């Protein structure tokens, strides 16, 4: 056999193969009547798109197939690879129809476009079937037109009906409406009760006062003795009567504790009758334990206590914060902050930072071997500001104490921040923090 005959046979074999493939495509398309959309999708930065395409269509009639019922389907796109089959809707006899395709990625709907699919026995690309863009649910910054509140009918009036935050607003405490209709935090000691007017004071179970009526003061009524005693110290609640006539404090007598001292012109005479009525306010109680008077409580008030967030980037971000309103900060108070940062990974170190308002009170760098960094800070408040003492330590990081001052501020935000030294698999997290307030006496 000559070389020319061999070459001719090879060409015939290749032609037969191509013809067979074409026939298979034609047969497959003839059997299904569907058009294959196959493409590779990219993002604007050149990376491959991964997400989901949600295809919607209304009922229409497709030539060679029949009635296509209204429905939708989700098509996953992995590493940019898209492949799906759709019934051709181009030139559908009744009714005119389009495919609406929503592109979704990173949990958001990125944009929506319209497809018109024509009959094809070979795969087509998205650019071949795309006929327009419908909308964009997440437009680029600067492309959206803001809507004024005043242009929305009734919105301004409705917003005016809502209470707004006052200067003393804060989290983690009971709220009260001030005289201006604003929301503020109730100011008081732990264990206090909140009254209807928004004030606070001692409270307990049962009656908050005990009344003593028609008590006869102890002492000799002889016209000479001017000193008498009561069974209790009534304070300003005392009502004293001599022969049924009301005696005025600081005019007819003086009261010191439970002792009555009559002035010279009001000394009881033989045959006079003295009657005293008063009340005693009971000390607040928690269970079976009496709490100290208001203003002298040593119980801690928890202002904030929570787990924080994590950060894998080199830029500082807030991992946890606590807003302390000015209304609950008093001279003599102590604010205590307890915190623990954790570090995962061994390729990078990390940094942490604690800010008292605009003042950075603590900043430390942990090494690759430090899996945790913990510490505490205490701020003593005065009219001039805060004196803050600190101590911190890590797994390997040595113990470090410190003390510094912070200026007076109208309320304080405590912000705990963290970052890693090099981006990769390492992360720094605020595993927990607590902010306590110890009211001053």
Q: What SS3 class is residue 433? A: strand
Interatomic CA distance for residues 189 and 172, integer angstroms: 14
Determine the 3-state secondary structure of 207 from DSSP.
Answer: coil
DSSP one-letter code for 327: G
Q: pLDDT tens digits for 22-63?
A: 555 444 444 468 899 999 999 888 899 999 999 998 888 887
Of 88, 107, 135, the one marking the end of a domain is 135
Q: How many CB atoms lie within 10 A of CB 320?
A: 22
Q: In this predicted structure, what is the pLDDT of residue 284?
A: 41
Total-model pTM: 0.39
Where does residue 434 fall: left (phi above 0), alpha (psi -120 to 50 degrees), or beta otherwise?
beta
For residue 145, being part of any structural domain is answered with no
Residue 137 CB coordination number (10 Å): 11
By C-alpha distance, which of 264, 204, 212, 281 is closest to 240? 212
Are 418 and 341 in contact, with CB atoms under 8 Å apart?
yes
Chain centroid to Cα 343, Å, comes to 23
Cα separation, 320 vs 416, whole angstroms: 5
User: How many CB atoms sit inside 10 A of residue 200's CB?
Assistant: 17
Strand ranges inside 265-333, DSSP E:
274-281, 285-286, 289-290, 301-306, 310-311, 317-324
Same domain membership, residue 398 and residue 361: yes
Contacts (Cβ under 8 Å, ≥6 apart) of 428: 310, 311, 319, 341, 342, 343, 350, 351, 352, 366, 418, 419, 420
Question: Are 242 and 357 part of one and the same domain?
Answer: no
* DSSP β-ladder status, 71-77 and 81-86: unpaired
Instruction: Mark which of 220, 248, 281 sits at the end of a domain.
Output: 281
Both 264 and 362 in one domain: the answer is no
Is 203 among the domain residues?
no
Same domain (yes/no): 118, 235: no
- Indicate if 221 and 258 belong to the same structural domain: yes
The backbone torsions φ and ψ at residue 46, rounded to the nearest 5 degrees and listed phi first, read: 95, -10
How far apart, in whole angstroms, are the C-alpha atoms of residue 130 and residue 111? 13
pLDDT given at position 195: 74
**Contact between residue 337 and residue 389 where contact means Cβ atoms under 8 Å apart:** no
CB atoms within 10 A of CB 410: 9
347 and 421, same domain (yes or no)? yes
Q: 109 and 39, same structural domain?
A: yes
Residue 141 maps to a domain = no
Say if 275 falls within a structural domain: yes
Query: d(Cα 130, Cα 98) in Å, to the nearest integer?
Result: 10
CA distances from residue 395 to 389, 392, 398 in whole angstroms, order as listed: 21, 11, 8
Of the chain, the end-to-end C-alpha distance in Å amounts to 116
Percent of the chain clearing pLDDT 90 (strictly above): 39
Instruction: Taking the CA atoms of 91, 95, 96 and 98 in sequence, report the sign of the dihedral they define.
Output: negative
Domain harbouring 123, CATH code: 2.60.40
DSSP alpha helices (H): ranges in 85-202? 126-129, 155-160
For 82-141, the pLDDT digits (tens) are 999 998 888 765 555 788 999 998 877 778 899 988 888 899 999 999 987 765 444 444
* Residue 2 within a domain: no
Q: Which residue range is the domain that position 342 belongs to?
A: 301-438
Secondary structure (3-state) at 316: coil
Q: Report pLDDT for 421.
A: 93
User: Which residues face 318 on adjacent strands?
Assistant: 417
Joined tokens for residue 396: 């390997």
Name the one residue in this structure whose structure tokens are 């010279």: 264
Are residue 339 and residue 426 in the same domain, yes or no?
Answer: yes
Low-confidence ranges of the chain (pLDDT < 70): 1-32, 92-96, 134-146, 172, 179, 190-191, 196-198, 202-209, 281-299, 441
349 and 313 assigned to the same domain: yes
Please state the domain count of the chain: 3
CATH number at residue 306: 2.60.120
The reply to whether 415 falls in a domain is yes
Residue 93's pLDDT is 54
Domain boundary among 231, 251, 281: 281
- Which residue, 203, 205, 204, 169, is CA-closest to 187? 169
Q: Do residues 56 and 103 share a domain?
A: yes
Structure tokens at 229: 């005693």
Does residue 290 lie in a domain region?
A: no
In a domain, 151, yes or no: no
């Amino acid at each position: 056999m000559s070389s020319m005959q061999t070459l001719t046979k090879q060409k015939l074999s290749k032609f037969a193969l191509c013809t067979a493939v074409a026939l298979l495509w034609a047969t497959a398309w003839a059997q299904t009547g569907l058009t294959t959309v196959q493409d590779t999708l990219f993002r604007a930065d050149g990376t491959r798109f991964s997400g989901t395409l949600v295809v919607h269509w209304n009922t229409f009639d497709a030539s060679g197939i029949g009635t296509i019922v209204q429905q939708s389907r989700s098509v996953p796109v992995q590493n940019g690879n898209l492949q799906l089959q759709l019934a051709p809707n181009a030139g559908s006899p009744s009714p005119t129809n389009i495919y609406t395709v929503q592109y979704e990625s990173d949990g958001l709907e990125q944009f929506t476009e319209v497809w018109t699919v024509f009959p094809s026995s070979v795969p087509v690309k998205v650019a071949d079937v795309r006929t327009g863009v419908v909308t964009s649910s997440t437009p680029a910054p600067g492309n959206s037109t803001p809507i004024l509140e005043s242009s929305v009918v009734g919105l301004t009036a409705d917003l005016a009906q809502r209470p707004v935050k006052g200067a003393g607003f804060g989290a983690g405490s009971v709220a009260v409406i001030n005289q201006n209709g604003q929301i503020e935090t109730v100011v008081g000691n732990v264990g206090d009760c909140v009254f209807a007017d928004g004030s606070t004071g001692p409270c307990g179970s049962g009656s908050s006062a005990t009344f003593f009526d028609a008590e006869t003061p102890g002492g000799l009524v002889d016209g000479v003795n001017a000193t008498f005693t009561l069974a209790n110290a009534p304070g300003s609640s005392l009502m004293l009567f001599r022969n049924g006539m009301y005696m005025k404090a600081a005019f007819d007598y003086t009261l010191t504790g439970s002792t009555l001292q009559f002035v010279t012109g009001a000394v009881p005479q033989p045959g006079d009758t003295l009657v005293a009525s008063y009340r005693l306010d009971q000390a607040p109680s928690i269970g079976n334990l009496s709490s100290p008077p208001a203003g002298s409580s040593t119980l801690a008030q928890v202002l904030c206590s929570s787990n924080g967030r994590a950060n894998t980037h080199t830029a500082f971000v807030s991992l946890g914060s606590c807003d302390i309103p000015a209304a609950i900060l008093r001279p003599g108070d102590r604010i205590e902050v307890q915190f623990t940062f954790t570090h995962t990974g061994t390729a990078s170190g990390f940094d942490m930072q604690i800010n008292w308002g605009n003042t950075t009170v603590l900043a430390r760098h942990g090494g690759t071997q430090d899996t945790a960094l913990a510490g505490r800070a205490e701020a003593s408040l005065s009219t001039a500001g805060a004196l803050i003492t600190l101590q911190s330590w890590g797994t390997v990081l040595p113990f470090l104490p410190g003390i510094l001052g912070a200026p007076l501020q109208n309320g304080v935000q405590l912000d705990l921040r963290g970052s890693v030294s090099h981006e990769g698999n390492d992360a720094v997290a605020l595993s927990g923090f607590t902010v306590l307030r110890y009211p001053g006496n």
